């Protein structure tokens, strides 16, 4: 994972540092715990239980934690093991689970524009993610338009406009309180007319148990389909790394309502582990496209199975 | 948000309460289930362990075995442990502390996207309208684009004054200016909204400690998302150690997260949860009550919240009029219409159902039954498609009138029939009520005031849904 496109070499070194530092910090307890448990020790029932609990503290969930420890026990039960061995074994297992979902977002150049709808709960980081993605697409030489579909939250439109300026892309917006579906429809029309490569549509944050708001989201998807049957071509669900087991409900409901095609996990530069993504990969099999590791324009990185697994377990 | 946990514990204790006697093994088996339920609810592992230990210790013993209903005893012990863990029954501790010379500074801190700005506006509005304080809000978030505009806009919506924005000013300077303005303008409270920060960002953590030192806040509230996972412990501990917090504001409690983070953060920081955000509007904020939340966790329902919500939203005069008519057995379709409208006012159906006692474990059945809030709208449409005479004398509604009503309301004849049947059932209950009197029907409910009776009549509670709650056709 190198970053040749970044204009700022220092910053570029920074993001990798931040990702590793962030994940390492987040894994410090996990790996520290494993280290304490196993300088070299017999892998017995009690040891397995403690390992399982350590995995749970990384938000992997009880079922995934049980599975990983069971897999470990299969080959190593009763043997003397070191903490390094355990970490390597877990990382390999996690990598295997994540590899099928570590798929980059493919932009179909045949679609003009390729429509990307971004959805998620409040405060997940949708607008920031759109800003970063828009900048990357611009740097690749694609023409991008942003649609400020969060017509509910105060100053959400202004927030996206700032990102539009930073990325040097136009932002289609209406006043707060306007109909989001109508805006999406018009934005698609406009982007089509201009022959844009990509249209990114922001949406208001919504909790997945609010039926009325989810209906509104379904309508956004529906009306865009009236302009172009195949639109939106990608629907990205943005998940906050601090989220716990509620992520399951988020993925399930947003997928059913808006046809989510891929995930983005944000805020991995903090202490949160985002371990739930492993359980999500197994249960839903949805691609994970990006990781967010900071607030800067360049702090959005492709998701890699190996990088995530090793980072989580503190292996370099 | 605690519904899931209630469900889980509910099913565990269902098995337990049905037994006559309770053995140590039973308790331990139940506690294993409780442990998994708590972990799946995102309660942090160390907190879960502590809880299970305490609860098991109390549950296993003579006291339980000798008691008449051992299962109930365990439920009570688990409940009491939860209440204790959530902050006990000391509700004074969970109130915002404004005991200082005005202007009282309140500092809001938290991770990115936890809901600081919205919560700031909610608290400001609450203090201004309920506590009659003069409140000034200021945003110190110079990083996130349009964060300051967001607070200014929310201030306009909530009718709370915000400090004018000065481009390029640093957070510490903004905080000082806010306090100066607070003194000059005779404000009682100054709310300082800060930028979201990760706890390992040393520069930003230093910045917020500088702000703290500059204004000496009386309250420093950690704003945290109810959906937070195991990281709740790391985040709460870091803010506690580096900044020092006096309370927690729990946001997005209206979501479906099980909310274990609330328990974790309370347990590891020792500071009380002071407010909960329960919606997107600036008035969607509630005080935190440990007793009630613990009750919800254990599927005991949250009757107090329901009553409060009812009295806030229900038109009392109308409710009393309805109650009187019900007592006289004169309930007609006009009354049903008025009742449906009251029910709508009381808010989201699912939220309402979750509060009813005994409904927690039924939540799944309710979900399967597909109770649809839109159905109420549709029923309202059916009623509005009737003539006044039809509404006062439902008996005149025969086949051709039904057809007309269905066409007028965009529904079908079976829909109309279903509504009429519901009405007949309710009218039946009313007649009974006339005979026995209100007391007979509502005895032991502990639900005071005519408000709720008007809103939710019918003897169907808590064994089943009130007759007025419509089902979507299968």
Whether residue A300 contacts residue A133, with contact meaning beta carbons closer than 8 Å, is answered with yes
Q: Looking at the predicted structure, is the pLDDT value of residue B175 above 80?
A: yes
Q: Looking at the predicted structure, is the pLDDT value of residue B424 above 90?
A: no
Residue from B41, B6, B34 nearest B364 by CA: B6
ipTM confidence: 0.84
User: Burial of B166 by CB count in 10 Å (0-12 exposed, 13-18 middle, 19+ buried)?
Assistant: exposed
Which of chain A's residues have a Cβ under 8 Å away from the Cβ of B45?
Answer: 53, 56-57
pLDDT at res. B429:
73
pTM summary value: 0.75
User: Is A53 an interface residue toward B (CB < 8 Å)?
Assistant: yes
A154–B157 CB contact, under 8 Å = yes
pLDDT at res. B338:
81
pLDDT at res. B458:
32
Q: Looking at the predicted structure, is the pLDDT value of residue A69 above 90?
A: yes
A267–B145 CB contact, under 8 Å = no
Question: Integer distance in angstroms from the first to the last C-alpha of chain B?
Answer: 27
Which of chain A's residues have a Cβ under 8 Å away from the Cβ of B154?
Answer: 154
| Cβ pairs bridging A and B (under 8 Å) | 152
pLDDT at res. B240:
94
Q: Looking at the predicted structure, is the pLDDT value of residue A210 above 70?
A: yes
Question: Using 50, 70 and 90 to split pLDDT, how confident is the model at B343?
Answer: low
Determine the Cα–Cα distance for residues A15 and A298; give it in Å rounded to an integer. 8
Which of chain A's residues have a Cβ under 8 Å away from the Cβ of B350?
Answer: 209
B252–A272 CB contact, under 8 Å = no
Choose from B257, B363, B366 for mutation: most chain A CBs within 10 A: B257
- Could you tell me which residue, A38 or A194, shows the higher pLDDT? A194
CATH class of B305-442: mainly alpha
Strand-pair partners of B137? B162, B191
Average pLDDT rounded to a whole number, residues B216-233: 94
Determine the Cα–Cα distance for residues B336 and B339; give it in Å rounded to an integer. 5
* Segment 249-288 of chain B within 8 Å of chain A by CB: 252, 254-258, 260-261, 280
Which of chain B's residues have a Cβ under 8 Å away from the Cβ of A129?
Answer: none
B228–A58 CB contact, under 8 Å = no
Cis before A232? omega within 30: yes
User: How is residue B177 written in tokens?
Assistant: 């200016």
Q: Is B248 helix (H, G, I), strand (E, B) or coil?
A: strand
Determine the Cα–Cα distance for residues B318 and B338; give it in Å rounded to an integer. 8
User: Is B199 an interface residue toward A (CB < 8 Å)?
Assistant: yes
Whether residue B149 contacts residue A158, with contact meaning beta carbons closer than 8 Å, is answered with yes
User: Is B335 an interface residue toward A (CB < 8 Å)?
Assistant: no
Whether residue A128 contacts residue A135, with contact meaning beta carbons closer than 8 Å, is answered with no
User: Which are the contacts of B19, defined by CB distance < 8 A and separation ≥ 6?
Assistant: B26, B70, B71
Q: Is B286 helix (H, G, I), strand (E, B) or coil?
A: strand
Question: Using 50, 70 and 90 to split pLDDT, how confident is the model at B461?
Answer: very low
- Could you tell me which residue, A273 or B130, shows the higher pLDDT? B130
Average pLDDT, chain A: 87
Determine the Cα–Cα distance for residues B397 and B313; give it in Å rounded to an integer. 33
Length of chain B, in residues: 474
Question: Using 50, 70 and 90 to split pLDDT, how confident is the model at A78?
Answer: confident
A246–B40 CB contact, under 8 Å = no
Residue from B402, B400, B375 nearest B470 by CA: B375
CA-to-CA separations, A237 to B11, B239, B254, in angstroms, rounded: 33, 29, 20
pLDDT tens, A121-179? 999 999 999 999 999 999 999 999 999 999 998 889 999 999 999 999 999 998 888 89
* Domain at A114-303: CATH architecture: 3-Layer(aba) Sandwich (3.40)
Question: Using 50, 70 and 90 to split pLDDT, how confident is the model at B237?
Answer: very high
User: Is A277 an interface residue toward B (CB < 8 Å)?
Assistant: no
Strands A144-147 and A198-201, bridge-based pairing: parallel
Q: Looking at the predicted structure, is the pLDDT value of residue B474 above 50?
A: no
Whether residue A126 contacts residue B144, with contact meaning beta carbons closer than 8 Å, is answered with no
Q: Is B332 helix (H, G, I), strand (E, B) or coil?
A: coil
User: How is residue B453 written in tokens?
Assistant: 């009776």
B238–A271 CB contact, under 8 Å = yes
DSSP B167: T
Determine the Cα–Cα distance for residues A274 and A59; give it in Å rounded to an integer. 7
Give the Cβ contact number of residue B391 at 10 Å: 17
pLDDT at res. A67:
93
**Domain range summary for chain B, segments of one domain joined by +:** 3-86, 92-300, 305-442
Q: Looking at the predicted structure, is the pLDDT value of residue B37 above 50?
A: yes
Domain B92-300, CATH number (from 3.40.50.1100, 3.90.400.10, 3.40.50.300, 3.40.718.10): 3.40.50.300
User: How is residue B425 written in tokens?
Assistant: 């059932």
Question: Integer distance in angstroms from the first to the last C-alpha of chain A?
Answer: 13
Q: Which helix (H) or strand (E) holds B467?
A: none
- Could you tell me which residue, B383 or B18, shows the higher pLDDT? B383
Radius of gyration of chain B (CA): 26
User: Is A17 an interface residue toward B (CB < 8 Å)?
Assistant: no
Determine the Cα–Cα distance for residues A117 and B187; give it in Å rounded to an integer. 44
Q: Which residue of A has its CA nearest to B234?
A: A271
DSSP secondary structure string for all residues of chain A: ---TT-S-HHHHHHHHHHHHHHHHHHHHHHHHHHHHH-SSEE--HHHHHHHHHHHHTTT--HHHHHHHHHHHHHHHTTSEE-HHHHHHHHHHHHHHHHGGG--PPPP-TTSSSEEEEEE-STTSSHHHHHHHHHHHHHHTT--EEEE----SSTTHHHHHHHHHHHHT--EE---TTS-HHHHHHHHHHHHHHHT-SEEEE------TT-HHHHHHHHHHHHHHHHH-TT--SEEEEEEETTB-THHHHHHHHHHHHH---EEEEE-TTSS---THHHHHHHHH---EEEEE-SSSTT-EEE--HHHHHHHHTT--
Q: Looking at the predicted structure, is the pLDDT value of residue B464 above 60?
A: no
pLDDT at res. A154:
87
Which of chain A's residues have a Cβ under 8 Å away from the Cβ of B36?
Answer: 62
SS (H, E, C) B18-76: HCCCCCHHHHHHHHHHHHHHHHHCCCCHHHHHHHHHHHHHHHCCHHHHHCCCHHHHHHH
How far apart are the CA of B416 and the nearest CA of chain A, in angstroms? 25
pLDDT at res. B1:
37
Cis before B75? omega within 30: no
Radius of gyration of chain A (CA): 21
B230–A58 CB contact, under 8 Å = yes
Which of chain B's residues have a Cβ under 8 Å away from the Cβ of A270?
Answer: 111, 198-200, 231, 235
Determine the Cα–Cα distance for residues B154 and B333; give it in Å rounded to an integer. 42
pLDDT at res. B41:
80
Strand-pair partners of B251? B225
User: Is A164 an interface residue toward B (CB < 8 Å)?
Assistant: no
Which of chain B's residues have a Cβ under 8 Å away from the Cβ of A276?
Answer: 229
Average pLDDT rounded to a whole number, residues B181-190: 96
Whether residue B316 contacts residue B310, with contact meaning beta carbons closer than 8 Å, is answered with no
Question: Using 50, 70 and 90 to split pLDDT, how confident is the model at B258?
Answer: confident
Q: Which residue of A has its CA nearest to B235?
A: A271
Percent of chain A with pLDDT over 90: 66
Strands B135-139 and B161-162, bridge-based pairing: parallel
Average pLDDT rounded to a whole number, residues A10-36: 53
CATH of domain B3-86: 1.20.120.140
B146–A276 CB contact, under 8 Å = no
Determine the Cα–Cα distance for residues B79 and B296; give it in Å rounded to an integer. 10
Average pLDDT, chain B: 77
* Segment 97-156 of chain A within 8 Å of chain B by CB: 121-125, 128, 152-156
User: Is B159 an interface residue toward A (CB < 8 Å)?
Assistant: no
How far apart are the CA of B281 and the nearest CA of chain A, in angstroms? 10
Give the Cβ contact number of residue B178 at 10 Å: 24
Determine the Cα–Cα distance for residues B126 and B284; give it in Å rounded to an integer. 9
φ, ψ for residue B216, nearest 5 deg: 45, 70
Determine the Cα–Cα distance for residues A121 and A282; give it in Å rounded to an integer. 22
**Domain range summary for chain A, segments of one domain joined by +:** 4-101, 114-303
Which of chain A's residues have a Cβ under 8 Å away from the Cβ of B149?
Answer: 154-155, 158
User: Is B144 an interface residue toward A (CB < 8 Å)?
Assistant: yes
CATH class of A4-101: mainly alpha
Residue from B17, B29, B2, B25 nearest B74 by CA: B17
pLDDT at res. B422:
84
- Could you tell me which residue, B108 or B365, shows the higher pLDDT? B108
Which of chain A's residues have a Cβ under 8 Å away from the Cβ of B146?
Answer: 155-156, 158-159, 161-162
Question: Using 50, 70 and 90 to split pLDDT, how confident is the model at B241?
Answer: very high
* Segment 344-363 of chain B within 8 Å of chain A by CB: 348, 350
User: Is A249 an interface residue toward B (CB < 8 Å)?
Assistant: yes
Q: Looking at the predicted structure, is the pLDDT value of residue A106 above 50?
A: yes
pLDDT at res. A34:
63
Determine the Cα–Cα distance for residues B343 and B373; give it in Å rounded to an integer. 10
pLDDT tens, B295-306? 655 545 444 455
Q: Looking at the predicted structure, is the pLDDT value of residue A311 above 90?
A: no
What are all long-range contacts of A108-113, with beta carbons under 8 Å and residues at least 24 apart? A108/A233, A109/A197, A111/A228, A111/A230, A111/A231, A111/A233, A112/A192, A112/A195, A112/A196, A112/A197, A113/A145, A113/A188, A113/A191, A113/A192, A113/A195, A113/A196, A113/A197, A113/A198, A113/A199
pLDDT at res. B176:
96
* Segment 294-333 of chain B within 8 Å of chain A by CB: none
Whether residue B175 contacts residue B211, with contact meaning beta carbons closer than 8 Å, is answered with yes
């Amino acid at each position: 994972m190198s970053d040749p496109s970044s204009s700022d070499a220092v910053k570029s070194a920074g993001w990798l540092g931040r990702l590793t530092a962030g994940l390492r910090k987040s894994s410090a307890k996990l790996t520290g715990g494993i280290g304490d448990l196993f300088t070299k020790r017999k892998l017995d029932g009690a040891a397995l239980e403690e390992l399982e609990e350590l995995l749970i503290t990384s938000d992997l969930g009880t079922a995934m934690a049980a599975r990983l420890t069971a897999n470990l026990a299969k080959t190593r039960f009763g043997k003397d093991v070191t903490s390094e061995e355990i970490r390597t074994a877990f990382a390999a297992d996690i990598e295997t689970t994540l590899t099928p979902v570590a798929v980059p977002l493919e932009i179909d150049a045949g679609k003009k524009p390729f429509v990307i709808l971004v959805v998620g709960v409040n405060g997940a980081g949708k607008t920031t993610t759109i800003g970063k993605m828009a900048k990357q697409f611009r740097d690749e030489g694609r023409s991008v338009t942003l649609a400020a579909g969060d017509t509910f939250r105060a100053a959400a439109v202004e927030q996206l406009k700032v990102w539009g300026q930073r990325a040097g892309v136009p932002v289609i917006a209406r006043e707060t309180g306007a109909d989001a579906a109508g805006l999406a429809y018009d934005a698609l029309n406009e982007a089509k007319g201009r022959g844009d490569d990509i249209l990114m549509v922001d949406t208001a944050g919504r909790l997945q148990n609010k039926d009325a708001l989810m209906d509104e989201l379904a309508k956004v998807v529906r009306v865009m389909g009236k302009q172009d049957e195949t639109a939106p071509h990608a629907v990205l669900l943005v998940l906050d790394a601090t989220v716990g087991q509620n992520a399951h409900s988020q993925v399930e409901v947003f997928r059913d309502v808006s046809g989510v095609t891929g995930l983005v996990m944000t805020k991995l530069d903090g202490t949160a582990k985002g371990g739930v993504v492993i359980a999500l990969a197994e249960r839903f099999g949805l691609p994970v496209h990006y990781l967010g590791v900071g607030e800067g324009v360049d702090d959005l990185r492709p998701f890699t199975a190996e990088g995530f697994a090793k980072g989580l377990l503190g292996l370099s | 948000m605690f519904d899931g946990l209630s469900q889980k514990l509910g099913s565990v204790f269902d098995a337990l309460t049905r037994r006559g006697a309770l053995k140590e093994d039973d308790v331990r088996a139940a506690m294993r289930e409780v442990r998994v339920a708590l972990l799946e609810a995102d309660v942090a592992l160390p907190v879960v362990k502590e809880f299970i230990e305490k609860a098991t210790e109390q549950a296993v013993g003579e006291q339980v075995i000798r008691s008449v209903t051992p299962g109930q005893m365990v439920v009570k012990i688990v409940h009491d442990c939860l209440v204790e863990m959530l902050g006990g029954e000391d509700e004074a501790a969970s109130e915002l502390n404004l005991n200082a010379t005005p202007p009282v500074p309140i500092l809001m801190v938290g991770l990115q996207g936890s809901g600081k700005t919205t919560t700031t506006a909610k608290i400001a509005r609450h203090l201004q309208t309920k506590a009659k304080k003069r409140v000034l809000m200021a945003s110190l978030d110079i990083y996130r684009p349009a964060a300051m505009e967001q607070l200014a806009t929310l201030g306009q919506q909530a009718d709370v004054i915000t400090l004018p924005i000065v481009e390029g000013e640093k957070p510490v300077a903004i905080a000082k200016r806010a306090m100066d303005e607070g003194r000059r303008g005779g404000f009682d409270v100054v709310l300082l909204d800060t930028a979201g920060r990760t706890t390992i960002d040393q520069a930003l953590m230093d910045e917020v400690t500088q702000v703290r030192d500059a204004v000496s806040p009386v309250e420093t509230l950690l704003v945290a998302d109810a959906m937070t996972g195991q990281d709740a412990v790391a985040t709460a501990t870091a803010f506690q150690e580096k900044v020092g917090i006096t309370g927690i504001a729990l946001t997005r409690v209206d979501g479906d997260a099980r909310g274990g983070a609330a328990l974790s953060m309370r347990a590891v920081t020792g500071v009380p949860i002071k407010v909960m955000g329960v919606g997107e509007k600036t008035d969607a904020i509630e005080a935190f009550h440990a007793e009630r939340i613990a009750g919800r966790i254990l599927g005991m329902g949250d009757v107090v919240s329901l009553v409060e919500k009812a009295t806030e939203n229900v038109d009392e005069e109308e409710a009393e009029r309805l109650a009187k008519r019900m007592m006289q057995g004169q309930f007609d379709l006009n009354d049903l219409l008025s009742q449906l409208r009251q029910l709508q006012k009381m808010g989201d159906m699912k939220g309402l159902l979750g509060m009813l006692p005994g409904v927690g474990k039924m939540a799944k059945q309710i979900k399967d039954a597909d109770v649809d809030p839109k159905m109420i709208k549709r029923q309202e449409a059916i009623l509005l498609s009737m003539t006044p005479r039809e509404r006062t004398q439902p008996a005149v509604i025969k086949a051709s009138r039904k057809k007309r009503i269905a066409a007028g309301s965009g529904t079908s004849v079976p829909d109309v029939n279903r509504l009429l049947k519901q009405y007949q059932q309710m009218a039946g209950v009313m007649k009974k009520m006339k005979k026995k009197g209100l007391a007979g029907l509502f005895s032991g409910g502990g639900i005071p005031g005519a408000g709720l009776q008007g809103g939710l009549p019918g003897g169907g509670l808590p064994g089943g849904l009130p007759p007025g709650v419509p089902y979507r056709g299968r």
